[in-house]
Amino acid sequence: MYRIQQIKLPIDHKEEELLIKAAEALRIKKEEIKEISIFRKSIDARKKDEILFIYTLDVDTYKEVKISKRNNNISVAEPFIYDVQATGEKPLNNRPVVVGSGPAGLFCALLLAEKGYRPIILERGKTVKERVKDVEKFWKEGILNYSSNVQFGEGGAGTFSDGKLNTLIKDRSKRGKKVLEEFVEAGAPAEITYINKPHIGTDLLRNVLVNIRKKIISLGGTFRFEECLTDIIIKDNAVQRIVTESDIIETDILVLAIGHSARDTFEMLNNKLKLTAKPFAIGVRVEHPQKMICEAQYGEMAGNPLLGPADYKFVHKSKNGRSVYTFCMCPGGVVTASASEAGGVVTNGMSFHERDLENANAAVVVQINPEDFGGEENPMAGVEFQRYWER
């Protein structure tokens, strides 16, 4: 299998042109190619009058091909294998507990289940099906359920978001590839494994989350919805058991994947453990016509269905060293009310799979450091800082 980078074609190209380009790059006849798959696809819109698709292709041939060492765009494609080795030496006496069923908790639980550890997943919120009812009631009637809302429940805050699946960190272990393949297995579109900025959309994501939950259960995991962590019992610097609103659970391993809105849980942890304040970002959500963004990015090609709705990213570093940047840009989406506490004004952005609504939106945020809110003395000061601006 060979990987060919920088295959450039017009956006209205025919599928056979990929085969032709691959054969030309490998200097073989197209009949000598057994199979082609797209590894990566992105848009080059730097020249508005000549917008291109740029492909990275994985090509399987009937016979070995000689690759010039001088050609940096062709390499041997290594097979994708993601595996986490169990390196512990001491058997667990009890099942591990994962608190939170957002992205971190869900995939932590999945990997534990795949290794046979039969995790218990605690989630203060409800299942997707019931959670959607509570969120829609909040949006339509202003009635907030403090445990089942845009922040809390199956899938975390991302359930009511754009479903973007990119990461800004280096991923040498290919964890991102594992995540994308699990999403596809659970019903997400196959294209998310190769397009440059993959997204699922909140409408499709809801069924995907249910299927991932079912897989974890089939591997021995247990979900306990509407059950909130209230205390942890520690002895000799080790977790012995946890306490919920209705039970006491013995465990050797506790994973806290609680997100950023479980403020009551942070208060409890602050009385049990040594917490450290960390930087975060706050800001506003801006909204503008999607047509305007498409015209700015694609020029006269704006509106071409082959390109889809355009997005953007903005970064600025001021003279005082503080950064301002856009976050969670949602093409063709909607701004949503996302509070989880009474009296708070919190917004989020959300897109459906087609991203075909009239407006685009993005969060414009500024970097906040612990010294801005007294976090060096009080690790919980950041929570009060957030509440101040939310009100």
Residues 293, 312: contact at Cβ < 8 Å? yes
**Whether 63 and 131 share a structural domain:** no
What pLDDT score does 165 carry?
Answer: 85
Among 125-129, 160-164, 290-294, name the one with the lowest average pLDDT.
160-164
> Could you tell me if 141 and 249 lie in one domain?
yes
User: Same domain, yes or no, for 8 and 50?
Assistant: yes
**104 and 51 within one domain:** no
Which one of 223, 245, 270 terminates a domain?
270
Percent of the chain with pLDDT over 90: 83
38 and 116 share one domain: no
Are residues 118 and 258 located together in one domain of the fold?
yes
pLDDT score at 139 = 95
Q: What is the reported pLDDT for 81?
A: 82
Comparing CA positions, the residue from 278, 224, 268 lying closest to residue 246 is 224
Region of poorest pLDDT, from 17-31, 127-141, 159-173, 241-255: 159-173
> Same structural domain for residues 229 and 360?
no
What is this structure's pTM?
Answer: 0.91
Residue where one domain finishes, among candidates 76, 105, 134: 76
Examine the domain organization and report whether 56 and 126 are in the same domain: no
For helices 128-141 and 202-218, angle between their N-to-C axes, nearest 10 degrees: 150
Task: Give the range of the structural domain holding residue 15, as residue numbers without chain letter.
Answer: 2-76
Same domain, 265 and 299: no
Cα angle for residues 157, 119, 85 (degrees, 5° grid) = 100
Please state the φ and ψ torsions of residue 143, each to the nearest 5 degrees: -95, 115
In a domain, 198, yes or no: yes
For residue 344, tell me if it sits in a domain. Answer: yes
Q: Express as a percent the part of the chain with pLDDT over 70.
A: 100
What confidence category does residue 249 fall into, taking pLDDT thresholds of 50, 70 and 90? very high
Q: What is the pLDDT of residue 70?
A: 83
Report the relative pairing of strands 238-244 and 74-76 from DSSP bridges: unpaired
Q: Which residues contact 238 (CB under 8 A, 6 or more apart)?
A: 252
Residue 172 has pLDDT above 90, yes or no: no
Domain boundary among 25, 42, 76: 76
What's the CATH code of the domain at 231?
Answer: 3.50.50.60
Are 251 and 114 members of one domain?
yes
Residue at 237 is within a domain: yes
- Answer yes or no: is 136 within a domain: yes
Residue 89 lies in a domain: no
Report the distance separating Cα 73 and Cα 224, nearest Å: 49
Least confident segment among 73-82, 118-127, 345-354: 73-82
Q: Is the pLDDT of residue 162 over 80?
A: no
Domains: count for the chain: 3
Of 255, 268, 224, give the one whose Cα is nearest residue 383: 268
Instruction: Give 70 or 325, the one with higher predicted confidence.
Output: 325
Residues 115-126, mean pLDDT to the nearest whole number:
96
Per-residue pLDDT tens digits for 80-111 = 888 887 777 788 889 999 999 999 999 999 99
Q: Are residues 285 and 211 in the same domain?
A: no
Do 285 and 263 share a structural domain?
A: no
